[in-house]
Structures are given as structure tokens and as C-alpha cells.
Amino acid sequence: MLNNLSEQIRDCYWHAQDCARKAAEQTNPNLKQDFLELEESWLFLARSFKFNEPLGDSSELDRRKSYEFVQSLETFVLDAHKREIEGE
């Protein structure tokens, strides 16, 4: 997990941009939609981090859990994408 909140927010925006790029590359409409939904999840998470920034470290555990949850969703979609490429 990244050390400071600004770094976490920046990372969320990077992930969102990456998901948007992957969505644009998709020919499978289901995977395209998955990546677009992941993009929205990363953007939502970044906005929630920004909104809660004044709260300080009191919500660090919640932020970490949220970040890890969205990251696990992205891993799930990426695995599905790999299976699609490999023809499983």
C-alpha cells in the first residue's frame, strides 16, 4: 500500500486511466464493460480519498480495504482477459 494519501489518489487515477485504455482495446463487449466499470471504481475511490483527506489517518484501514478490493476486482478482470486471449 502506498504511504501517503496523495500517492494513493494519484495511483487510483493511474489505474483508472489504464482501465480506460484497456477498455478501448477490447473487442469483447463484456470485457470492455468490465474495464469501464473498473475505471469508474478507481475514479470513485480516488474521489472518496480526496473527500476524506482532511480526516487523516483515522480512516486508513477503510482506505486500504477499499483500495485492495478494487485492486482484486481488476486482477479478476485481467485474469478473465488472459483466459479470453488463451481461448479457454
pLDDT in tens, 3-44: 577 888 899 999 999 999 999 999 889 989 999 999 999 999
What percent of the chain is predicted at pLDDT more than 70?
82
Per DSSP, the chain holds a count of helices (H) and strands (E) of 3, 0
Q: Please, what is the end-to-end C-alpha distance for the chain in angstroms? A: 32
Q: Is the pLDDT of residue 49 over 70?
A: yes
Q: What distance in Å separates the CA atoms of residue 54 and residue 4, rounded to the nearest whole number?
A: 13
Asked if residue 16 lies in contact with residue 74, where contact means CB atoms within 8 angstroms, the answer is no
Q: Provide CB contacts within 8 A for 66, sequence distance 6+.
A: 45, 48
pTM over 0.75: no
What is the pLDDT of the chain when averaged over all its residues?
A: 81
pLDDT band for position 62 (50/70/90)?
Answer: confident
Number of domains in the chain: 1
Neighbours of 58 (CB within 10 A): 8
Cα dihedral sign, 24-26-30-34: negative
| Residues spanned by the domain of 61 | 5-86
